[in-house]
Chains A and B, each alone.
Chain A
């Protein structure tokens, strides 16, 4: 079974990020790392291929600048190869442009399954997986917290607010997985060393037959009109127990819908 995992390389969340005041987007001229939310999809893919007994895990990613550091991390975990779509014209791409580019790259692989995170840790639109599925005319299951494959059928436990649904889905399909789906492995030293020599195919937009005017800033259908600092943290409410504190805490948690 061949699985493609869509992975994003993002600025390290441990370093305070900066916004570009002109474009109102995150500056990405620093070292990029693998988005942690994608490491779950990579691990899930490795386990599924392992269980199937054959096949391989391939990565698909896009970035304007040709950075591969994050991809190497996923390759070190065990993925076999990567396609990196790299083109200056990709800067400023919105979710739909991203989906178009990734879908075009995925088509070259013809996989049995496409895994993604539910959303990236820097953009948080959470719409790319479904857009990829639509563009590839494939079924899509979101928020997978458990994925099993049997032949040409995937069974997915799909996280909901109140529990989970069990969804069966024919393959190929696009499945987005949550952070709880599996525990990502640490790359082994051998994996890290081997990753240096694993193939990363770099493609530009013309190789995928995509008009640069339809992606990036040129093709953006969404615009960031305003950015503002997040409000300062306010002092919390102190609940003094006069016999009914537990009821007030329960009501508070109920309001937050965390119960």
Chain B
């Protein structure tokens, strides 16, 4: 159900105030040191962000996709990694909500509301990502349990998560999604965080490699129950469709921050006796940045509103993610050009925007993958006569 507009505005405005007051002044300290922003995370729990999209029936607040995307934009305007702390959880919530059995919903969703029991999403492997056909992580049945063996890559929030939405190959040679329960930490019953991945941007939250050696998962933890066996790929792609709207929203947030910073700087910094905003070369850059930002935002929220209306939005979400992420990178680069030498230093946040934006181009399906999705949908929508 659509969230009431006035209520949505108030929720978003509350996050905006917090980002302006408590996030932006402190972000550099965590980001540069690659340190988990514990206090910010706790405030996100206090807001109720982790349960915000969970159905009211299970103790959540049931806000719609559009409102959630607006919140993601605001978080990313301050510190994109905060949206990352939230987003894998949101993917887990969406998968359980859409495809879990009633028992799974009742077991997991209420615990996922307050942020103490968080989800990670684990599809990628060293040699497989969007190419799900190449997944090698295996699950084999042994009595009432499944035995998991394999290595997973790029697991955001992997260490701190209590639940991993794990995609593994079952003996029918299809992909199944397992609800892997674990204790937060680096080792748990055959699960090991085998490597913490150091990254260009998207710092402050962990992205890890995880190894599974004979880890046992009870049969009731197959997402969707018996019917879910072999359907993991479909479940994951459906959740990623929404994930892509949120990646686009993150791109809009970072692009907005980069644009705001450039506008301010261009009116303060003087060269040749006048503010650089008065130079046409700078004006043109800002005009292009503002136009790309506007287009990104409109595409992102168009996809979100369609998703809220119940439409299948793989093409629109793909378009929004492709366009907004590429635009965000260009806007961040233009912002750095406007800041000149200052933009290249850690004294200004622009270098962070430039380091953060490639994540949106690459994560949850590269721009090239999005183009493949778009092209495939084009054929469906425009069949030959």
Contact = CB atoms under 8 A, between A and B. Distances in A.
B7 A192 contact: yes
B46 A188 contact: yes
Nearest to B71: A189
- Interface on chain A toward B: helix, strand, loop, or mixed SS? loop
Contacts of A188: 46-48
Given A192-B10, A192-B14, A196-B7, A186 B61 contact: no
Given A192-B14, A193-B61, A186 B7 contact: no
B11 A192 contact: yes
Nearest to A188: B48
Interface string A183-202: 00111111011001000000
- Interface on chain B toward A: helix, strand, loop, or mixed SS? helix
Contacts, number: 28
Contacts of A185: 46
Interface string B98-138: 00000000000000000000000000000000000000000
B256 interface: no
B52 interface: yes
Interface string B49-74: 10010000000010100000000000
B61 A190 contact: yes
Give chain B's interface residue range (CB within 8 Å of chain A). Answer: 10 to 19
B41 interface: no
Given A192-B10, A192-B11, A192-B14, A186 B48 contact: no
Interface residues of A, number: 9
Contacts of B7: 192-193, 196
A186 B17 contact: yes
Interface in B16-70: 17-18, 43, 46-49, 52, 61, 63
Contacts of A190: 48, 61
Nearest to A196: B7
Interface string A39-71: 000000000000000000000000000000000
B17 A189 contact: no
Interface string A164-195: 00000000000000000000011111101100
A189 B48 CA distance: 6
Q: Specify which of B10, B17, B63 lies most central, judged by the most chain A CB atoms within 10 Å of its CB.
A: B10
Contact of A186 (B46, B52, B63): B46
15 contacts: A186-B14, A186-B17, A186-B43, A186-B47, A188-B46, A188-B47, A188-B48, A189-B14, A189-B48, A189-B49, A190-B48, A190-B61, A192-B11, A193-B7, A193-B61
Interface of B: 7, 10-11, 14, 17-18, 43, 46-49, 52, 61, 63
